Structure 1
Amino acid sequence: MTDNDPLKRGSKTLDNGLQVLEVLGDSPNGLTTTELSERLSLHRTVTDRLVRTLEHHGFCRRTQEKRIVLGNGLVALANRVQQDLRGTARPILEDLAEELQVTTHLAVQETEDTVRALIVIPPRHSRIHVGFREGQVDPIDRGSAGLAIMSMREKQPGERDEVDTVRERGYAVTKGEVTPSVTGISAPVPYRNEPGLLSVGISVFEATDEAHLATAVVAAADALGRELLR
């Protein structure tokens, strides 16, 4: 049994069920039971049993075309995650999105090597903006959100030189590292507590005035840090 074996980590059935949700999350048009079985390398009967259990809890559903998609039960569940943090951060991100007319986001360190987009706010009145889903997980050493978070940690062997630059100027800028042709500007949130290290950032197709954008992002990150310390 290897270290990656789900039986060694815990419940194999639960592991399979979570993999169903992960695969469906990457399949916006849904999958048939057969397609899902093939993706997971599971017997069709086992897959069908997993899907029926998840359906019972509202975590997935079947369309009229008999394709399996994620269910609305996940939305309610996700909204309960870090409610206090979400409630505090959302108006700050909304104000930043409207001020700059860009997509804003709050990222949290998920593991030692990854960050998760906990909140994503598009501008309400912009005809064109960058779009990506809440919950997206990316490598911590790729993209401005991860570099901003890394800047709050002790310097580590092999880390990118850009992290020191973030420590010096207070924000990170990357281009095309997570999404092609998209520039990210993120600042660390000066707050150290649960749920972990945080960054506030924006995603734009073109950063015509990087200094102005960065100043606004840093101000928003500082404002969130002050609110969280209250």
Structure 2
Amino acid sequence: MSKTLHNGLQVLELLVTHPQGMSLTEIAEAVGVHRTVAHRLVRTLEAHQLCRRDKFKRISLGTGLVRLAEPVEQDLRTLARPILEELTDATQATAHLVVRENESQVRMLMIVEPHQARMHVSFRPGQMDPIDRGSAGLAILAALPPTTGEREEVTRARERGFAVSHGEISHGIVGISAVVPRSGTEMPISIGLSLFEAPDEDKLGAEVVEAATRLAAQLG
């Protein structure tokens, strides 16, 4: 096994769990290498756009990782698109596919907007949100075992089979999401809707759960 490659991958794994960034000294101490070695590792990762430094010299993950993940996520998007399109046609609401990015964040992987609705919610693909805010993250947390101090909304989502949020990501927007049921080793995914009002949360929740179940079957 290549020790240098191993250490470089350790740096990336560390940065995944520290979305706010880390100093070079913190990285060196966590990996167990001299600061000079950590500097070389980071410079190499920077050259491949796998990490970056901000104006305070804190190091975080870089955009090059998105490019590397693209082939894997492309298969997921290909399978999910027709399901999201059917969901948005049935509800006339914006449908979204969200993945867990790290311990504290989720990422909007795909957005499908309704064509016939007079008004609809719009999001930017790639948008990052806190995992404990918004229906997508709450649905993913609800798929995990209960924890002490978890939000009441997570507990409620575990009981209902889908999560509901009100104005947590965007003011005045209702979110309804369900986790895609998969084995514990797979990347957590949720399917959901964003809309201005939800007069029948249970009906919309059932639509979302059905879509999530269909995607799970497609993924195998």
Normalised to the residue count of structure 1, the TM-score between the two structures is: 0.69
Q: How does 1:115-194 map to 2 (within 5 A)?
A: 115-192=106-183
State the match for 2:42 in structure 1.
11
What are the Cα deviations for residues 138-164 of structure 1, in whole angstroms up to 9, with x where unaligned? 111000000100011122232212211
Q: Match of 1:11, SS? A: helix
Number of matched pairs: 183
Q: Are the equivalent residues in 2 in contact too, given 1:143–1:184 (CA < 8 A)?
A: yes
Q: Does 1:228 align with 2:219?
A: yes
In the alignment, the residues of structure 2 paired with residue 123 and residue 77 of structure 1 have an alpha-carbon distance, to the nearest angstrom, of 30
Q: Which runs of 5+ in 1 are unaligned?
A: 23-38, 43-58, 60-73
8 A contact 2:42–2:51 mirrored in 1: no
Conserved 8 A contact 1:108-1:195: no
The 1:8–1:178 alpha-carbon spacing in structure 2 relative to 1, beyond 3 Å, is farther
What SS does the corresponding residue of 1:3 show, helix, strand or coil?
A: helix
CA distance 1:8–1:195, change in 2 (3 Å): farther
Q: Secondary structure at the match of 1:206?
A: coil
C-alpha separation in 1, matches of 2:146 and 2:78: 32
Structure 2 distance, partners of 1:8, 1:164, is: 42
> Quick one: distance in 2 between partners of 1:104 and 1:77?
25
Which 4+ runs in 1 deviate beyond 3 A?
A: 4-10, 12-20, 39-42, 74-81
Q: Distance in 2 between matches of 1:3 and 1:184?
A: 38
- In the alignment, the residues of structure 1 paired with residue 26 and residue 85 of structure 2 have an alpha-carbon distance, to the nearest angstrom, of 43
Q: Which amino acid aligns with 1:199?
A: S
Q: 2:203 aligns with which of 209, 212, 225?
A: 212
Partner residue of 2:90 out of 68, 93, 99: 99
Distance 1:112 1:160 in 2: 16
CA distance in 2, matches of 1:96, 1:185: 12
What amino acid is the match of 1:171? F
Give, as a single letter, the amino acid of the residue that structure 2 aligns with 1:191.
R
CA separation of 1:184/1:223 partners in 2, compared to 1, >3 Å: closer, same or farther? same
Residues 97 and 192, structure 2, Cα contact 8 Å, conserved in 1: yes
Counterpart mapping for 1:73-112 below 5 A:
80-112=71-103
Distance 1:136 1:194, change over 3 A: farther
Question: CA 1:211–1:109 in structure 2 vs 1: closer, same or farther (change >3 Å)?
Answer: same
Displacement of 1:215 in angstroms is 1.3
Offset at residue 193 of structure 1 (A): 6.0
Provide the C-alpha distance between the structure 2 equivalents of 1:188 and 1:151, rounded to a whole number of angstroms.
8
